[in-house]
Structure 1
């Protein structure tokens, strides 16, 4: 059985002019099922019900949403349902554990397993409901399509902004130590200070990040990499101190 969101997504792809073969390969749904839905657009009574409302653990969801927008993806299972995958670097075992815990808090009762890849771990979980929990899911890469939060998601982020910022930084951000030299008492001394970066090629995702920083009163600047302004930097002492308190370094 396929849930309502799966039917709608398949029929939407067909409506875009794609062939049944192409839609079947992308979604893992048989051509016969898609063809039958075209002639019977209303879902059958026994179709799997959607998730009843937004997740109850709102802080965990805000954090997991940040991880998903940064380094996450959702892919269809060949038969039914979906896999949520979050890429976490091997260097940060604490992040891997936090990701696992966030998934189980957002969607209790499901399994979470780790798939080892070169240099990273894919924290993976299966559910037919992931596209409902993360409606930003869609064909193609996130930076090639519009990314906007649903009103219920924005409400959660507004209520738990630090968790959202933390998830984004844990996925596509870093904390580094910059240094410079100063003349102190006639002697040049080395001076070090922390700085936070967030890098994402999606204009929409960067704006979600900076809009949240603005609401928190965090000062930021945007810098270019290879001529493209993909980097968001937080370097002012007071703003860095607040990120240190609420985000801290990866571990």
Structure 2
């Protein structure tokens, strides 16, 4: 016995034939998405229709895409992003701090602006939210994808990627800081006229184990006139620090704290 009334299935099929996406049909009729997907495939089979996977990959189709959004998304990917690329599972994933709703929304928006067709979803995890976009063509947009961890392999931008970063350096830096960076306020004390006073000063950090990714960060900071230093974590120089007042002020104009 079919778990859903035939009239519901008929209505679902009618909506899908009008071009309504599976998830919207499922939400409207209160039916599981998997069931709607099965109904769609059964309807196509009955009509002898071949399923064509639609895609809007800029690298494969040659279409124009949002370079500003891509520069930001590239920074997010190099920081806290990765791509799953298997036979039956393909998606771009960016991990965001659960306490930063603005960052989560910005990651979703960037994915949709670069490739509007793939579905984008959120997965709540302990202390973070995973923003995911499903299509195998993210490997076209991020050729840095490969086996193993990013800091264990060479990371070099393709010429077309470097041209986008050169045109939109601040968006790239913003993506890096929003993923593996932060803006904090340090403090110290000084004795002035015999009285100890507390002084606070902001600074930016970018922390990443990959020498190549840190170099991409510092090279881009150089291009926009931001002074930086490297601070070691133990014996490893994982931290890029921006602490000079003028450079912090410049970063505040273009980056600011996560939110």
TM-score by length of 2: 0.75
Gaps of 5+ in 1: 1-47
Residue 225 of structure 2 is matched in structure 1 by: 217
User: Following superposition of structure 1 onto structure 2, how do residues 164-179 of structure 1 map, counting pairs within 5 Å?
Assistant: 164-179=172-187
Please name the residue that 2:241 is paired with: 233
2:140 aligns with 132
- 2:61 aligned with 1:56: no
3-state SS, counterpart of residue 138 of structure 1: coil
* Residue in 1 that maps onto 2:77: 68
TM-superposed deviation, 1:234: 0.2
Greater Cα radius of gyration, structure 1 or 2: 2
Give the distance between the partners of 2:84 and 2:63, measured in 1 at CA.
21
**Aligned equivalent of 2:88:** 79
User: C-alpha distance in 2, partners of 1:207/1:234?
Assistant: 14
Shift of 1:211: 0.2
Specify the alignment match of 2:42 in structure 1: none
Q: Tell me, in whole angstroms, the C-alpha distance in 2 between the residues paired with 1:128 and 1:177.
A: 41
Residue of structure 2 in register with 1:245 after alignment:
253
C-alpha deviation, 1:248, in angstroms: 0.2
Q: Render the CA deviation track for 1:199-223: whole Å, top value 9, x for unaligned.
A: 0000000000000001111100001
For the structure 1 residues 193 and 54, does the alpha-carbon distance in structure 2 shift closer, same or farther, using more than 3 Å as the test?
Answer: farther
Partner of 2:25: none
RMSD: 1.8
What is residue 191 of structure 1 aligned with on the other side?
199
2:142 and 2:116 mapped to 1: Cα distance?
A: 16
Kindly state the Cα deviation for residue 54 of structure 1 after the two structures are TM-superposed.
7.3
Is the 1:61–1:106 Cα contact (8 Å) retained in structure 2? yes
2:111 to 89, 99, 103: 103
CA distance in 1, matches of 2:82, 2:237: 24
CA distance in 2, matches of 1:165, 1:117: 26
Deviations 1:176-198 (A, max 9, x none): 10011233444221110100000
Whole-Å Cα distance in 2 between the matches of residues 230 and 211 of structure 1? 15
- Residue 152 (str. 1) matches residue 149 (str. 2): no
- What SS is found at the alignment partner of 1:127? coil
**CA pair 216-198 structure 1, distance change in 2 beyond 3 A:** same
Q: Kindly tell me the number of residue pairs found equivalent between the two proteins.
A: 204
Distance 2:103 2:256 in 1: 12
5+ residue gaps, structure 2, are: 1-54
